[in-house]
Amino acid sequence: MLKWFSISGIMKEIGRIRWPKMSELSLNSLEVIIFTAFFGLFFVACEFIITHLLKVTGIGG
């Protein structure tokens, strides 16, 4: 059987994990929310621009 695939091996690996602090977790969460909102707005803006260009050229309805 594998050495690390035991209760003691699993507990040893859990002890090695570096859990983030609450401030670091909050900052990372805020970054993800800002990043997601930015790209959401970016894609909505692209859709409006493409729709407008298609209407101007007479392709869009």
Domain that holds residue 50: 23-61
- C-alpha 28/C-alpha 21 separation (Å) is 11
pLDDT band at residue 1 using 50, 70 and 90 as cut-offs: low
Asked if residue 61 is part of any domain, the answer here is yes
What's the total number of domains in the chain? Answer: 1
pLDDT, position 8: 86
Asked if residue 59 is part of any domain, the answer here is yes
Asked if residue 5 is part of any domain, the answer here is no
pLDDT tens-place string over residues 6-46: 888 888 888 999 989 999 999 999 999 999 999 999 999 99
Could you give the 3-state DSSP secondary structure of residue 17? Answer: coil
Asked if residue 46 is part of any domain, the answer here is yes
**What percent of the chain has a predicted confidence (pLDDT) above 90?**
69
Asked if residue 2 is part of any domain, the answer here is no
Q: Tell me how far the alpha carbon of residue 2 is from its chain's centroid.
A: 34
